[in-house]
Amino acid sequence: MFIIDAHHDLAYNAIRYNREVRLPLTDLRERERKTPAEGVPTVSIPTLLEGRIGLIFGTLFSMPIQRNVFMPDNKKLVYENPDQAHAVALAQLDFYQRLADEVEQIRLVRNLPELEEVVASHVEGEDGLLGIVALMEGADPVREPAELEEWYERGVRLIGPAWDDTRYAGGAWREGSGFTREGFALMEGMADLGFILDITHLSDKA
């Protein structure tokens, strides 16, 4: 059995809450009991490997400032403009790249041979690899559609145009607007490069 976790906020949790996701889960919980963060950690790299998860879609999530209502004092990974959103997403992508560079069993999956390597490692009795496919949740980090090629070269393979409303499309949280002119240009660019379109959180109209 090859298990895929198709949405995982691993980098967001690590950066926003200073969560050391390389620790065993019991150690991570003990650490946060002494220095509380939001919620209770439920997963870490060792638990993903122990559970023989083959692939995760690691999100790049930027919190629009107008939606940062639960922790208004939080300044991490929140954005007011496209440049800030770009920096937030890039920090999370860099986090996944560091994991792949520094943890022997982790691979950043960007093409078919890298995927095949991860799948082939999952044979009975062997310690399988953990593949990470980068998923941008909300497209505001793409400052303009012409920038898509840069994100593709850096390893992003899935993009969801909206979480909350973006300048590309309406999200499901609000009045439910559709795609903008920029949003159609974004999808055309994604199609040209071979991105996967993630429709999660889009409004019904979009």
Question: 123-166: per-residue pLDDT in tens?
Answer: 877 889 999 999 999 999 999 999 999 999 999 999 999 998 99
**pLDDT at position 36:** 65
Contact 38, 158 (CB under 8 A): no
pLDDT > 90? residue 75:
no
* Average pLDDT of the chain, as a whole number: 92
Calpha distance 94→11 (Å, rounded) = 9
Pick the closest to residue 64 from 176, 11, 139 (CA basis): 139
What residue type is 1 in one-letter code?
Answer: M
Joined tokens for residue 126:
């062997």
CA–CA gap between residue 18 and residue 1 (Å, rounded): 33
> Nearest to residue 159, comparing CAs of 172, 176, 173, 145?
145
**pLDDT (mean) for 107-132:** 94
| Chain position carrying tokens 């692939």 | 55
Place of tokens 């996944």: 96
Query: Are the CB atoms for 47 and 25 separated by under 8 Å?
Result: yes
pLDDT score recorded for residue 170: 93
Tell me the pLDDT band of 174, cut-offs 50, 70 and 90.
confident
Q: In terms of pLDDT, which residue wins out, 69 or 3?
A: 3
In the chain the beta strands, taken as DSSP E runs, fall at: 3-8, 53-61, 63-64, 78-79, 106-108, 130-137, 156-160, 196-197
Instruction: Tell me: pLDDT of 6 over 70.
Output: yes
pLDDT band at 71, cuts 50/70/90? low
What is the structure's pLDDT at 32? 85
pLDDT band at 72 (very low <50, low <70, confident <90, very high): low
**What is the pLDDT averaged over residues 28-51?**
86
Residue 66 confidence (pLDDT): 78
